[in-house]
């Protein structure tokens, strides 16, 4: 799929949400360097999840929940205000949409489920 196809899909699915509007507004002022920096920050968060997994820690551990909180913070910093509810919905998408699951699992087997579980554990702990 092309970038344009993904953009059209995102607009169809989330185009009426405040988060979508906020992300589009932010994206409109980003340079190519900003986009690369956002990708770097996102990968750093993925690496935190991988580190927790490699250490054999459960998704409910402090280290995994820290990664989940960093995930939420990076989304808020770069794209839109990411509440625990929004993040939990993203976590569901990470395991239900094969494109997201494949992206995570290509970096470490089982990572998509681990990210999902750590995000949900962190959201529950925030209540």
Residue 1 has pLDDT above 60, yes or no: no
pLDDT at 14: 72
Tokens coding 68: 């989940």
Q: Are 115 and 104 in contact (CB under 8 A)?
A: yes
Count other Cβ atoms within 10 Å, centred on residue 9: 11
76 or 2, greater pLDDT: 76
Average pLDDT rounded to a whole number, residues 10-15: 73
pLDDT at 84: 98
Q: Specify the CATH number for 19-125; select among 1.10.490.50, 3.20.20.70, 1.10.357.10, 1.20.1070.10.
A: 1.10.490.50
Is the pTM for the entire model greater than 0.85?
A: yes
Q: Domain limits of the chain? A: 19-125
For 104, half-sphere exposure in the C-beta direction (CA atoms, 13 angstrom radius) is 24
Tell me 57's DSSP state: -
Find the length of the chain: 127
How does pLDDT run across 33-84, given as a tens digit for each residue?
A: 999 999 999 999 999 999 999 999 999 999 999 999 999 999 999 999 999 9
């Amino acid at each position: 799929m092309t970038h344009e196809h993904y953009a059209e899909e995102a607009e169809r699915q989330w185009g009426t949400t405040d988060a979508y509007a906020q992300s589009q507004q932010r994206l409109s002022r980003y340079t190519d360097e900003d986009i690369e920096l956002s990708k770097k920050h996102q990968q750093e968060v993925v690496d935190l999840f991988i580190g927790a997994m490699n250490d054999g820690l459960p998704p409910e551990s402090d280290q995994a929940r820290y990664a989940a909180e960093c995930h939420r913070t990076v989304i808020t910093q770069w794209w839109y205000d990411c509440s625990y509810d929004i993040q939990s919905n993203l976590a569901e998408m990470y395991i239900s949409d094969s494109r997201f699951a494949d992206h995570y699992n290509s970096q470490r087997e089982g990572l998509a489920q681990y990210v999902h579980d750590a995000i949900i554990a962190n959201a529950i702990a925030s209540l």
